[in-house]
């Protein structure tokens, strides 16, 4: 039994070395970010934030401190890509610039 106690203590120490890189409200988004980071060789984990400690409940994406800067870059790059993709879809829904080409009859 003592062996098991050491193992749990070791994992707690490892988690204490993790820092929050991002907080989101949606668990699915948190899991997506965790997968994104892991796909980029960044160790990551998700922890649910306690609503009594923070103003609103959410999910913290955590990485080891030495990966913090790299994790920020990966997440920001993905967010920029998502924003661009959303913008492109909005243009397409509104007809976009290409729809004018097909409005005229030749």
Per-residue pLDDT of 97-106, as tens digits, reads: 555 555 555 5
Is residue 2 included in any domain, yes or no?
A: no
* pLDDT band (50, 70, 90) for residue 84: low
Range of the domain at 22: 13-96
Is residue 7 included in any domain, yes or no?
A: no
Is residue 47 included in any domain, yes or no?
A: yes
The end-to-end CA distance of the chain, in Å, is 83
Is residue 61 included in any domain, yes or no?
A: yes
The CATH number of whichever domain residue 86 belongs to comes to 3.30.70
CA-CA-CA-CA torsion sign (7, 46, 73, 81)? positive
Is residue 21 included in any domain, yes or no?
A: yes
Is residue 104 included in any domain, yes or no?
A: no
pTM: 0.62
Decide which of 5 and 16 is more confident.
16
Number of domains in the chain: 1
């Amino acid at each position: 039994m003592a062996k098991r106690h050491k193992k749990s203590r070791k994992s707690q120490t490892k988690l204490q070395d993790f820092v929050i890189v991002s907080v989101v409200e949606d668990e699915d988004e948190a899991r997506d970010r965790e997968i994104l980071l892991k796909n980029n060789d960044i160790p990551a984990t998700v922890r649910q934030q306690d609503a009594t400690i923070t103003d609103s409940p959410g999910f913290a994406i955590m990485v080891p401190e030495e990966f913090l800067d790299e994790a920020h870059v990966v997440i920001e790059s993905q967010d920029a890509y998502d924003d661009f993709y959303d913008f492109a879809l909005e243009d397409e829904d509104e007809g976009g610039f290409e729809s004018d080409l097909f409005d005229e009859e030749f």
